[in-house]
């Protein structure tokens, strides 16, 4: 299968690139600017090219010439507060550019797999199943929900893969995520305040990449929730990291979200039920402590 990926420089995009480069699929990984990950090894069937998804002419040229069977669209503005403060830019990348990519996908008849988020939900009543009503509480969630709605009406073969709070080994791509933030602060004996009134089902990045590849290979259609299956608050995650690394958990104080003044509201109770992905895709999440052992090995 010929697969084009957007957002290959991101946390998720680099993991998808790493896994697909070891398969028999022909991969064109794309990202904004140069590839920034030296650890990625491309086989003879995989390559990288720069593609800014806001540049319609270049995106059209690249996609029309590669003629993918499937597009995995992972690129996005993912910082919730940036989205709140720079709404036009957030809309232009997360919604308008996605709509452009969908129309280019139509020209080459490619299946379109859109990576979306738990933040399309209100957070009033999670964990959520795929058919639950969306209702975002911040602008990031709104832009992703709008893109979802457009894709559903597109007439293409499509899937929407929603996920929750990614964590994984990202030191190779020089990106921090929550668990490194916890580790680094505790190692420097710095006290941290961590939210304990939000629930999530944190997602191990390699699991998600595997789940997305299963959707693409099985030509699955519709909405899939792919995340971990352990419900926890960020505070509980931090405690597990501290215990795993034998760091001082007394440095971690549980707080309510109201402690922080952030431009973007975070939904309170999200997380997913993942029965559909397990039954239909054979998806099986790694236990949080097993993932920590892999990350810090
Ligand atoms: N992280 C999470 O916890 C989480 C949770 C739920 C859903 N998701 C979804 O998962 C997907 C991947 O997220 P992630 O965590 O891997 O985010 P990430 O590390 O921020 O990756 C997003 C990538 O999109 C790229 N991008 C932004 N604007 C672009 C443009 N104009 N043209 C081409 N590429 C562009 C970014 O490029 P630069 O690196 O050059 O900035 C970045 O590499 C996103 O669709 C996100 O909405 C993430």
Q: Which of 151, 149, 181, 152 is nearest to 165 (CA)?
A: 181
Q: Is residue 295 part of a domain?
A: no
Q: Is the pLDDT score of 175 beyond 80?
A: no
Q: What is the spatial distance between Cα 75 and Cα 94, in angstroms, rounded to a whole number?
A: 8
Q: Is residue 261 part of a domain?
A: no
Contact 11 CB / ligand 1 (< 6 Å): yes
Which of 74, 159, 205 for a ligand 1 pocket mutation test, highest count of atoms within 8 Å of Cβ?
74
Q: What is the spatial distance between Cα 295 and Cα 276, in angstroms, rounded to a whole number?
A: 27
Structure tokens at 233: 């608050």
Angle (nearest 5°) at CA 31 between 33 and 79 = 100
Residue appearing with tokens 């003629």:
67
> Which residue's alpha carbon is at the smallest distance from atom 26 of ligand 1?
75
Report the percentage of the chain scoring pLDDT > 90: 94
Ligand 1 centroid to Cα of residue 7, in Å, is 6
Q: Is residue 268 part of a domain?
A: no
| pLDDT, tens only, 247-280 | 999 999 999 999 999 999 999 999 999 999 999 9
Q: Is residue 137 part of a domain?
A: yes
Q: Is the pLDDT score of 42 beyond 90?
A: no
Q: How far is CA 72 from CA 93, 213, 295, in A?
A: 15, 9, 25
Q: Is the pLDDT score of 173 beyond 70?
A: no
Contact 141 CB / ligand 1 (< 6 Å): no
Contact 117 CB / ligand 1 (< 6 Å): yes
Ligand 1 centroid to Cα of residue 13, in Å, is 8
* Contact predicate 47/29, CB 8 Å: yes
| Mean confidence (pLDDT) of the chain | 96
Q: How far is CA 167 from CA 32, 66, 197, 198, 208, in A?
A: 22, 32, 19, 17, 10
Q: What is the domain extent for residue 59?
A: 2-164+204-228
The band of 100, judged by pLDDT with boundaries at 50, 70 and 90, is very high
> Which residue's alpha carbon is at the smallest distance from atom 28 of ligand 1?
76
Q: How many domains does the chain have?
A: 1
Contact 7 CB / ligand 1 (< 6 Å): yes
Strand partners, 224: 161
Contact 12 CB / ligand 1 (< 6 Å): yes
Contact 200 CB / ligand 1 (< 6 Å): no
Q: Is the pLDDT score of 87 beyond 80?
A: yes
Q: Is residue 247 part of a domain?
A: no
Q: Is residue 52 part of a domain?
A: yes
Q: What is the CATH number of the domain that holds 74?
A: 3.40.50.720
Structure tokens at 27: 């991969």
| pLDDT, tens only, 193-218 | 999 999 999 999 999 999 999 999 99
User: What count of other Cβ atoms lies within 10 Å of the Cβ of residue 215?
Assistant: 24
Residue 294: in which H helix or E strand, if any? helix 288-295
Q: Is the pLDDT score of 37 beyond 90?
A: no
Q: In the prediction, which pLDDT does 172 show?
A: 72
Give pairs for 182-190: CB < 8 Å, separation 24+: 182/237, 182/238, 182/241, 182/242, 182/252, 183/241, 183/245, 183/247, 183/296, 185/251, 186/241, 186/242, 186/245, 186/247, 186/248, 186/251, 186/252, 187/247, 189/248, 189/251, 190/251
Q: Is residue 129 part of a domain?
A: yes
Task: Please tell me the number of Cα atoms within 13 Å of 125 on its side-chain side.
Answer: 5
The band of 170, judged by pLDDT with boundaries at 50, 70 and 90, is confident
Q: How far is CA 18 from CA 2, 24, 41, 47, 210, in A?
A: 16, 13, 7, 11, 11
Report the percentage of the chain scoring pLDDT > 70: 99
Contact 53 CB / ligand 1 (< 6 Å): yes
Q: Is the pLDDT score of 174 beyond 80?
A: no
Ligand 1 centroid to Cα of residue 189, in Å, is 31
Q: Is residue 177 part of a domain?
A: no
Residue 230 phi, psi dihedral angles, 5° rounding: -105, 120
Ligand 1 centroid to Cα of residue 50, in Å, is 15
Q: What is the spatial distance between Cα 249 and Cα 186, in angstroms, rounded to a whole number?
A: 8
Ligand 1 centroid to Cα of residue 249, in Å, is 31
């Amino acid at each position: 299968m010929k697969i084009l990926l957007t957002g290959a420089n991101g946390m998720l995009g680099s993991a998808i690139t790493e896994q697909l480069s070891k398969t028999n699929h022909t991969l064109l990984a794309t990202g904004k600017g140069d590839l920034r990950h030296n650890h990625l090894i491309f086989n003879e069937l995989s390559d990288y090219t720069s593609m800014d998804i806001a540049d319609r002419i270049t995106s059209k040229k690249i996609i029309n010439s590669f003629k993918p069977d499937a597009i995995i669209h992972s690129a996005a503005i993912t910082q919730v507060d940036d989205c709140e403060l720079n709404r036009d830019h957030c809309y232009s990348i997360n919604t308008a550019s996605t709509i452009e990519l969908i129309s280019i996908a139509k020209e080459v008849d490619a299946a379109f797999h859109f990576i979306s988020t738990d933040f399309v939900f209100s957070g009033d009543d999670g964990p959520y199943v795929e058919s639950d009503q969306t209702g975002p509480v911040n602008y990031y969630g709104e832009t992703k929900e709008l893109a979802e709605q457009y894709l559903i009406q597109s007439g293409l073969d499509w899937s929407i893969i929603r996920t929750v709070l990614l964590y994984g080994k990202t030191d190779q791509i020089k990106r921090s995520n929550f668990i490194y933030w916890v580790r680094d602060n505790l190692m420097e004996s710095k006290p941290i305040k961590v939210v304990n009134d939000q629930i999530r089902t944190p997602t191990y990045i390699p699991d998600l990449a595997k789940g997305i590849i299963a959707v693409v290979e099985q030509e699955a259609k519709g909405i899939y929730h792919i995340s971990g299956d352990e419900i926890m608050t960020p505070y509980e995650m931090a405690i597990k990291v501290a215990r795993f690394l034998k760091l001082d958990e007394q440095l971690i104080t549980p707080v309510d979200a109201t402690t922080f003044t952030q431009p973007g509201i975070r939904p309170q109770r999200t997380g997913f039920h993942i029965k559909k992905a397990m039954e239909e895709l054979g998806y099986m999440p790694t236990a949080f402590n097993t993932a920590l052992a892999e990350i810090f090995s």
